[in-house]
Amino acid sequence: MTSSAYPNFKTHFSELFAQAAHAVAPTDTAIRIELTRTKQANHGDYSCNLAMQLAKSLHKTPRDVANLLIESLPSSPHLDKVEIAGAGFINLFLKNSAKQQYLQYVLQSKEAYGHSQFGQGKKVQVEFVSANPTGPLHVGHGRGAAFGASLANVLAASGFNVSREFYVNDAGRQMVFQLRQFLIHLQV
């Protein structure tokens, strides 16, 4: 998330798990905390496999390590509950108020929502595919224009300096004839 007004949950929970891991396994320095979004809502919002990573070095079962991690996990204003699932996954459930807070963030951001400075102003040129004036028109020509425009918009929202080029080959009778034939075919 690009604003400091709204927390990045993945980063926030990673920091909490880092503290819990340090409390449970203070000598283990090669810890890699992996948080993923769950595919099913009943499994929570995020899932962590840290207990399975630490189980071997602690000589305990992953579920036992998961219990220790949950006990050592600092409190968070965004967490509703934490559960152990399967072999030792730790599932995190966000509070409804945290989800609602995100909607407020989106509404306050207005047109700036989703924009970032990832591209750092680097120049990018997007050339659109143009219709061939000597061949038949088809839906692919429109698709190429829509795809090129959309890609350019995404790059611009990501902080790139985008230059758009769309060559319009609409000169001459051939293109007018082809366009007329295309519209007749569509019965427009």
Q: What's the angle, vertex CA 184, arms to CA 134 and CA 186, rounded to 5?
A: 100
Q: Which of 179, 168, 180 is nearest to 137 (CA)?
A: 179
Taking residues 119-126, report their average pLDDT: 92
Domains along the sequence of the chain with CATH: 9-98 (3.30.1360.70), 116-186 (no CATH)
The token pair that represents 55 in the structure block: 């189980």
pLDDT band, residue 131 (cuts 50/70/90): low
pLDDT above 90 for 136: no
Report d(CA 141, CA 130) in Å as an integer.
Answer: 7
Q: What is the pTM of this model?
A: 0.64
Asked whether 102 and 146 are in contact (CB, 8 A), the reply is: no
Residue 181's pLDDT is what? 61
